[in-house]
Amino acid sequence: MTRAKVVVLGATGFVGRNVRDRLALDGHEVHGLSRTGGCDLLDLPAAWRQIEHLRPDYIVNCAAFVGSVNFVSDFAADVVDVNMRMLLNTYKIAQQMREAVLINPIANCGFPGGLDVYREGDLWDGPLDPSVKSYGATRRMIDVLADCYRRQYGVRSANLFVPNMYGPYDSHNPNKTHALNALVIKFVTAAKSGAEEVEIWGTGRPVREWLYVKDLARLVSRVVSEGGFNGEPVSVAQNHGLSVDEIAALIAERVGFKGRLRRNTSYGDGSPRKVMDDTLFRGRFPDFTFTPMDQGLEETVAYYRGTIA
Ligand SMILES: NC(=O)c1ccc[n+]([C@@H]2O[C@H](COP(=O)([O-])OP(=O)(O)OC[C@H]3O[C@@H](n4cnc5c(N)ncnc54)[C@H](OP(=O)(O)O)[C@@H]3O)[C@@H](O)[C@H]2O)c1
């Protein structure tokens, strides 16, 4: 294993904290940066001053202005504006540090909304789902930036397409929390307070692929430890999905919630089904094992139980 120097952008966020912890556990020299920590990616000179002297081998880009489907719709213009400027500045920084590999976990809402199964080559093969148009478009732009900065400036990017994630360290703000964690928080809160009802946003029917965030963190650390990546995007894929209702039932059982589910269909569902093809992933990382859903949920419920009064 190669010990690397790694900068994690967005290190205070849900994904960034998990990635930072795993890299440190695996013995890498980790520098976690974020907006509130003084590295505002909207301010290129200031961000450059924070990163320049570190001369990292890798930059893991977990910085984003993002939240629930509602959030990216309500704040659509800001989501496009802030995320594009952050990405443009991140690539300007990478351009000055050609020795650093930029690792981008890319949310799969950048894929066409009409597809059932997402294959890496299909990213541009159709329109985005309207519910995530703002954020999804900025995720597609990572593909453009990675390609253009490689061609002109030799910047190396490792693009990982990633499904919905769950696990510790997510925000408790209902407009920011990610779908499965939001459900865990609702069920844990209901079980603690003895509430008889839990509200589910949407119909409960959409099928999603769910990835335990610590699996992504483990994979990012492996890419860093192995010191290489051939530059082709790959999906962190299991080719398996569960509906929101199925997930809700698993969580309810785990927390011992015996009440009713109330569906609030004033919230949209987004794409009916999102599952990721795992052919490339299996070829690239044949021995990688994903955390079983039971175990991931167990750990996630335990974490949020500990954070809710
Ligand atoms: N969560 C998922 O299920 C999922 C799935 C697939 C891919 N991803 C991708 O993973 C990445 C991180 O998502 P997340 O869920 O971890 O988001 P998050 O919890 O909202 O964290 C966002 C991070 O970005 C930082 N940030 C925001 N504005 C910034 C700015 N102007 N300058 C510097 N840093 C800034 C925040 O720092 P402060 O706290 O200091 O403001 C925070 O550390 C995104 O690219 C997302 O698309 C996430």
Same domain assignment for residues 23 and 130: yes
Same domain assignment for residues 188 and 222: no
CATH number at residue 43: 3.40.50.720
In order of 156, 161, 207, 276, 288, the CA distances from 282 in angstroms are 22, 14, 22, 12, 8
User: Best substitution site from 18, 35, 59, 166 to test ligand 1's pocket, by max atoms within 8 Å of Cβ?
Assistant: 35
Same domain assignment for residues 157 and 250: no
CA of 100 to the centre of ligand 1 (A): 20
Same domain assignment for residues 171 and 158: no
CA of 13 to the centre of ligand 1 (A): 5
CA of 139 to the centre of ligand 1 (A): 12
Report residues whose beta carbon is within 6 angstroms of any ligand 1 atom: 10-16, 34-37, 39-42, 62-66, 86, 105, 107, 162, 164-165, 171, 178
Mean pLDDT of 140-145: 98
The pLDDT value given to residue 308: 87
Task: Write out pLDDT tens, residues 70-107.
Answer: 899 999 999 999 999 999 999 999 999 989 999 999 99
Read off the pTM.
0.96
Same domain assignment for residues 218 and 302: no
Same domain assignment for residues 45 and 160: yes
Same domain assignment for residues 67 and 216: yes
Specify burial of residue 82 (Cβ count, 10 A radius: 0-12, 13-18, 19+).
Answer: middle
CATH number at residue 266: 3.90.25.10
Range of the domain at 107: 5-165+210-235
**Secondary structure E strands in the chain:** 5-9, 29-33, 58-61, 101-107, 117-118, 156-162, 164-166, 197-201, 207-208, 210-212, 234-235, 242-243, 260-264, 273-276
109 closest CA partner among 296, 276, 229: 276
N-term to C-term CA, the chain:
41
Same domain assignment for residues 154 and 270: no
Same domain assignment for residues 64 and 182: no
Q: What angle do CA 266, 244, 122 make, to 5 degrees?
A: 95
In order of 67, 201, 209, the CA distances from 161 in angstroms are 18, 25, 12
CB hemisphere CA count around 236 (13 angstroms): 30
pLDDT of 268 higher than 90: no
Same domain assignment for residues 111 and 191: no
Structural domains counted in the chain? 2
pLDDT of 230 higher than 80: no
In order of 8, 50, 62, 99, 126, the CA distances from 91 in angstroms are 14, 15, 14, 13, 26
Same domain assignment for residues 228 and 193: no
Report which of residues 113 and 138 the model is more confident about: 138
Length of the chain: 309
Exposed e or buried b per residue across 108-126, where buried means at least 16 C-beta atoms within 10 angstroms of its C-beta: bbbbbbebebbbbeebeee
74/303 Cα distance (integer angstroms): 29
Same domain assignment for residues 257 and 154: no
CA of 213 to the centre of ligand 1 (A): 13
Lowest mean pLDDT among 31-35, 120-124, 165-169, 172-176: 172-176
CA of 203 to the centre of ligand 1 (A): 27
